[in-house]
Structure 1
Amino acid sequence: MRAAAVPLIAATIALGASPAIAQDREQVKVAFAHALPNVDGKKIVAVTVTYPPGGKSLPHHHAASAFIYAYVLSGAIRSQVGNDPAQVYHAGEGFYEMPGSHHSVGENASDKEPASLLAVFVVDSKDEPLTTPDKASGSQ
């Protein structure tokens, strides 16, 4: 997990946030990535996202081709995608994001317990990066 945190902190600092704020951010680790042999030009990527108590993600977009299914592994995650209202998902529940969606809220619903989810991307093989923070997010 330490290796995954270093780029996250560096990216957070590059966006104009202080390192103290970075400690409240999610940690993302690639769990699996593989080309889909039966679907030309597509790959599947699974990432674990771990939030500390009170932790949150910056508002962001995913790669334009990405269909994402998120499954809550532990705790509770508050998520808002597009114009839908924010919802809280508990361990064992899931949600999805359509290609081109804006993810305005992604956060731990608890300020006392950690939370984690598994996000599975089905995306064009050459579509990178998978996640791009909103430009205005660095000033928050």
Structure 2
Amino acid sequence: MKNVTITLPDDILARARVEAAKQAKSLSRYVSDAVAEKVGGTEDPMSILRPFFTGPGFPGISKNLPTREELYAEREEELVRRYESHRLHGGSERAGKAEDRDRLADQDGRDQEPGSEPAKPE
């Protein structure tokens, strides 16, 4: 602890001594407590970090978050809906296009004999 010299007007010094006496403190202790209260000084550095270590400190935020089971149930419902809607439409559009290409390729292959070249337009 360091010693500090301060200068006070006589009337403020007298009132400070009276207030210190009412609280059963020395003038030095009274001024020290007043300064600590004004600047927010703490005796225990851990008292600042204690709220951080004990929890989030936002009572409403953690209550609004869904639980793990709710998240998984929501995801499962979404996947089931996708699967059922896929089956209702009879497959994807890409599958139909692939079948069309296969049929066209088979027809083109039947028109040509092996080893022969297709006719070139003139």
**TM-score interval for Structure 1 and Structure 2 normalised by the shorter chain:** under 0.3
More strand by share: 1
TM-score by length of 2: 0.21
TM-score by length of 1: 0.19
Higher relative contact order (CA 8 A, sep 6+): 1
More helix by share: 2
